[in-house]
Amino acid sequence: MPKFSPIPANPVVEHGEGVTADGTRIRTVYMEQTAANMAFALVIPGDDMPRIVHWGRPMPAAGRDAALLHAYAALKPQRVSGALDETAWPSVLPTQAESWIGEPRFVVRRGDVELFCGFTVTDVTADVIDDVPSVTVSAEDAEQGVRVLWTAELEQGGLIRQRVTVHNLFGADAAPLEIGKVELGFALPASATEILTTTGHHLRERSPQRQPLTIGRFEKNSLTGRPDFDASLLLTAGVPGFGFEHGEAYAVHVGWSGNSCLSAERLPYTTGVIGGGELLFGGEIELDGADSTDSEAAYTTPWVYGSFGDGLNEIAARFHDHLRRLHPNLSAKPRPVILNTWEAVYFNHDFDTLKALADKAVEVGVERFVVDDGWFGSRRDDTSGLGDWQIAQEVWPDGPKSLKALADYVHGVGLEFGLWFEPEMVNPDSDVARAHPEWILSPTTGRLPMQGRSQQVLDLTNPDAAAYIFDCIDSLVGELGIDYIKWDHNKLVTEAGSRFSGRPAVHAQTEAVYGIWRRLKENHPGLEIESCSSGGGRVDLGILEYADRIWASDCVDPVERADIQRYTSLLVPPEMIGEHVGDSPAHSTRRATSQEMRMAMAFFGHLGVEWNLLKQPQENLDLLAEWIAEFKKHREWFAIDTMVHTDSPDPAVRVDGVVKPDRSAAIYRFTQLTTSATYPAAPVRLPGLKSDANYLIQPVPVSLDVEGATSPARETIGNGQSALGWWTADGTVMNGAQLASYGLRMPSLHPANAVLFWAIEV
């Protein structure tokens, strides 16, 4: 079984010191991950905060120390007319004390008065810890009682991440220190003048948008207690026209599941900065006076991640490496094929129906059976019962048709058993809400926030509410033998005032969720949890530290999923992205598509089925079983492969693929979303292969018969009027350099169709 093999550890950390011609003391820190082809360098001029002077490919060892010492004089801007005596050259945490006059990035208050901090560096340490080069800089504004501890790490895969801990240095007799905002940044080269983000809404997440990075500020804020559908998983800045395969580009991500900001900013006086951080409401974080070592007197930001690459494929590979190191189970245990009952039965739970559905699931090769919403309390629709995490006796009475009996049956036929929860939310029409109205997040006792899906948010910062939720889930996992939790989060978190603490609670609520997930996994080794949030509303490296899978979207229409999955994979490796074969017409769009298109679009991810198999003719089940069997032949490799996407000048087509680590083989998917301007569609390039190797190119057997192409009655391919010469079981042999430049011709397909083919080194 192939296992994820981390890039060999060969970290480099160097630090030096010198004096410039004008007498400024300069300290330098250089960090490198040689195998990842990535380096990061800082200069600390005098007692000032660090400046980033290099982020990209490793610097030559010869003369590196001198080059870094000279970087301060080489990059420091001159004083110019009409400005301050020091022209803005932003540090990792710029303030007005260093002439930063852009959007405030470090906002703290004491006694409701904003402080203007000027930090003096007191200590710099750099070392390698567990093969990860890291640097920590301590700095303080002693007069105003504020200390910051800034840390940066260069991970084995080349991902750089930074965070800050803010300490209140004053004692208990002083007013608390309120944290307003801490927004960390990465300096951009002047050539990075175009930015790429994504936008979206429910059922259409991750829609790309581009614009110039001009003078001024661009920001994407998430203020709904989760990243939400409109979240840009990455904010990427690069040379104009950068794409998946080419173009110097720099991307940032905030690893946090609560409120956050991603920003790109350029001032007339300086180069650009991209970064982000947590967004906090007034009074949400206050540090009481205490000794500086007291954790109660400190606030630590989420990690802000940065990834550099020649194109988005390389940028994404660094994030994938990070997550694969966190979750070795992804390659150690092949991803089980899932059947989720939601679009099969919705709330209509019945023992006999679900038992029969489990039998059909076994027949087609499913390995994990997940019972979705509707099994508990009075939950016969979405208006009541949420929060009452007790098995509904009228649906699942004790006895031979109980939910326990179904779980036992599912286990007995060789399937894992999964169950849906939405623990952070509550219906006002529920026993728990009636018994504990104080457990609902709301700004006042007399008014609740606007509802969504007949829901309110349960205040998990209240220890009693958190204990209730944990105990309910923990006991059910043990009682039913639950292997998998689908954890949903459907309501936007608005007006998140806690009656328990008397202050806004998004930060504490997010930490409480992380804590429950940690404890569940500690109590039940091997338990896997999916992050679902009305589909793709909570996808970030904070939740993915614990989640084994994300649900990319409630929309399983394969045409919509083509880009939803493509842009989700900029952050998340394919084996962690839930991709399901659904019904036709799709329940969310009413678009009709071929079964082959639906199966091809789900093939590279964590494959699942969201379909009532009891209503399908045997020929459909047989075809589904054939595709699932083909998926199982490759899924162990998918968990370690490199995901690639092709830049196509034709907006009507997509080419996506997974390439083995040694580039000896790859599987690609060609999708014809709509009609193309050229007819047939132009040849496509295949990225990721060795330029000096030859490859056998063949259709994957499940895609060989394209729309009846190989049937005796028809010799044509798809919508073509003659045979496509190489689309046969024998295939053709081409060179990797050819495939990366001119490429090869794909079948002429009707719109909303896709085929799979592979390239194998010969």
**Residue 508 in domain:** no
Is 637 within a domain? no
What pLDDT score was predicted for residue 721? 83
- DSSP conformational letter for 89: -
**pLDDT tens per residue, range 432-478:** 999 999 999 999 888 999 999 999 999 999 999 999 999 999 999 99
Residue 714's pLDDT is 39
- pLDDT range class, residue 708, cuts 50, 70, 90: low
- What are residue 519's phi and psi, to 5 degrees? -65, -40
- How confident is the model over 316-359, as pLDDT tens digits? 999 999 999 999 999 999 999 999 999 999 999 999 999 999 99
pLDDT digits (tens, 9 = 90+) for 146-187: 999 999 999 999 999 999 999 999 998 999 999 999 999 999
Give the residue from 326, 359, 393 where a domain finishes: 326
- Residue 212 counted as domain residue: yes
Q: Three-class SS string for 29-45?
A: EEEEECCCCEEEEEEEE
Does any domain span residue 371? no
> How would you classify the pairing of strands 235-238 and 248-254?
antiparallel
Domain count within the chain: 2
Cα separation of the two ends of the chain: 22
Q: How far apart are CA 233 and CA 253, in angstroms?
A: 6
Decide if 623 is inside a domain: no
Residue with tokens 């402080």: 115
pTM: 0.97
CATH assignment at residue 742: 2.60.40.1180
Which residues, 6+ apart, have CB-to-CB distance to 104 below 8 Å?
Answer: 96, 181
Residue 20 lies in a domain: yes
What does the pLDDT read at residue 722?
86
pLDDT of residue 291: 54
- Residue 322, exposed/middle/buried by CB under 10 A (0-12, 13-18, 19+)? buried
Neighbours of 450 (CB within 10 A): 10
- Domain extent, residue 305, equals 12-326
Contact 188, 168 (CB under 8 A): no
From CA 675, how far away is CA 718, in angstroms rounded?
13
Count of residues making up the chain: 762
Residue 276 binned pLDDT confidence (cut-offs 50, 70, 90): very high
Please give the pLDDT value at position 707: 64
Beta bridge partner(s), residue 761: 695
The pLDDT of residue 386 is: 98
Strands 216-222 and 304-310, by their bridges, are: unpaired
Q: Is 613 a member of any domain?
A: no
The CA distances from residue 524 to 421, 475, 476, in Å, are 16, 11, 11
Task: Give the CATH number of the domain where residue 148 resides.
Answer: 2.70.98.60
Residue 591, domain member (yes or no)? no
Instruction: Locate 696 and state its tokens.
Output: 């056998």
Domain boundary among 274, 302, 326: 326
* pLDDT above 90 for 705: no
Residue type, 206: R
Query: Could you give the angle at which helices 506-523 and 463-480 cross, rounded to 10 degrees?
Result: 30
pLDDT digits 0-9 by tens, 617-647 = 999 999 999 999 999 999 999 999 999 999 9
Q: What is the CA radius of gyration of the chain?
A: 27
Q: Reduce the DSSP state of residue 737 to 3 states and report it.
A: helix
What's the confidence (pLDDT) of residue 8?
61
In angstroms, the CA 433 to CA 388 distance is: 9
What's residue 711's pLDDT?
47
Per-residue pLDDT, averaged over 188-199, amounts to: 96
* In the predicted structure, residue 296 carries a pLDDT above the cut 70: no
Q: 600: part of which helix (H) or strand (E)?
A: helix 595-601
| Residues 512-553: tens digit of each pLDDT | 999 999 999 999 999 999 999 999 999 999 999 999 999 999
Predicted confidence band of residue 723 (pLDDT cuts 50, 70, 90): confident
Q: Which long-range contacts (CB under 8 A, 24 or more apart) does 615-623 make?
A: 620/595, 621/360, 621/363, 621/364, 623/595, 623/596, 623/599
CA atoms within 13 A on the CB side of 496: 30
Among 326, 355, 388, the domain boundary falls at 326
pLDDT reported for residue 709 = 54
